[in-house]
Homo-oligomer: A and B are copies of this chain.
Amino acid sequence: MSKPLILITNDDGIVAPGIKALIEVASTFGEVVVVAPDSPQSGQGHAITLEHPLKLNKVDPFNGIEAYECSGTPVDCVKLAKNVILKGREIDLCLSGINHGANSSINVIYSGTMSAAMEASIEGIDSIGFSLLDYSFDADFTEAKKIVKNLVQKMLEKKLPDCKLLNVNIPPGKDIQGMKVCRQGNGNWVEDFQEGLDPRGQKYYWLTGKFVNFDKGDDTDIWALENGYVSIVPTGHDLTVHNSIENLKYLEK
């Protein structure tokens, strides 16, 4: 069997420390190709660039690992990887991250990290988005790398049943209790905007907020992380609320 081909991307940008952790682990399993944004793209969700063209440059920040920086969003990176850089080749696995900060609960919706991995999964590629709950630039990825190794090995050995994408969040610190396969917890941001005046005296608004957990369940990603476990959420892209279809038939009249 030939070496597996592993695509790596992120949303914090190609020079963010987290992506190096993924590359280090993945390159022990197969051929790695990196396509990542040339600037931070946090909160870009599933944005794609339609209004203007994209630039793509071959770069070499990872000791000879094939790597490209792209002027677009994380999802653009995956589309360019599949349709241009790796055109005609089968990608065995896509890894996105390691994101600096949580992508559990509702954050999955806003996350460029998860949207990049989701884009690969829409294309039928087994994918994992990894996040470490530590925002600092010098976050310690030692424990996270063990989790990445564990899951990459399992994903390469056996395709996931009925699912193509995992949302994996890793608690900070060294005292990890284990891994929990769980559901996306029901939480949301209570938001506010920092208001101020720019240098020309014009008012601006800058998003800020606080995450609030509305979910009492012990089967959620929020619960897992609060209790020291790695959370693994099987994640899809069918947004239909299936059990509402029958109840909404009155709208047809």
Q: Which residues of A come within 8 Å of B, CB atoms?
A: 40, 42-56, 73, 75-76, 79-80, 82-84, 106, 108-110, 115, 118, 122-123, 151, 154, 160-163, 166-167, 178-184, 186, 188, 191-196, 198, 202-207, 219, 232-245, 247-252
Contacts and interface: CB of A to CB of B under 8 A. Distances in A.
A190 to B, nearest CB: 9
Given A50-B207, A154-B251, 17 more contacts: A45-B47, A45-B75, A45-B115, A46-B110, A47-B73, A48-B207, A53-B194, A55-B202, A55-B205, A84-B205, A109-B122, A160-B244, A161-B244, A161-B248, A166-B251, A179-B251, A236-B240
B162 A53 contact: no
Contacts of A202: 55
Contacts of A234: 240-241, 244-245, 248
Contacts of A79: 191, 193, 207
A131 to B, nearest CB: 15
A50 B56 contact: no
Contacts of A245: 181-183, 219, 234
Q: Is the interface of A mostly helix, strand, loop or mixed?
A: mixed
A45 B42 contact: no
- Tallying the copies of this chain within the complex gives 2
A108 B207 contact: no
Nearest to A188: B122
A149 to B, nearest CB: 13
Contacts of A184: 238-240
Contacts of A82: 191
The 5 closest A-B pairs by CB, nearest first: A45-B46, A53-B204, A234-B244, A47-B47, A163-B244
Contact of A161 (B109, B123, B194, B247): B247
Contacts of A44: 45, 47
Nearest to A179: B252
Contacts of A249: 181
A96 to B, nearest CB: 15
B42 A51 contact: yes
A194 to B, nearest CB: 8
A44 B192 CA distance: 22
A187 to B, nearest CB: 10
A235 B242 CA distance: 9
Contact of A45 (B48, B219, B247): B48
A183 B83 contact: no
Given A236-B239, A241-B234, A251-B154, A51 B40 contact: yes
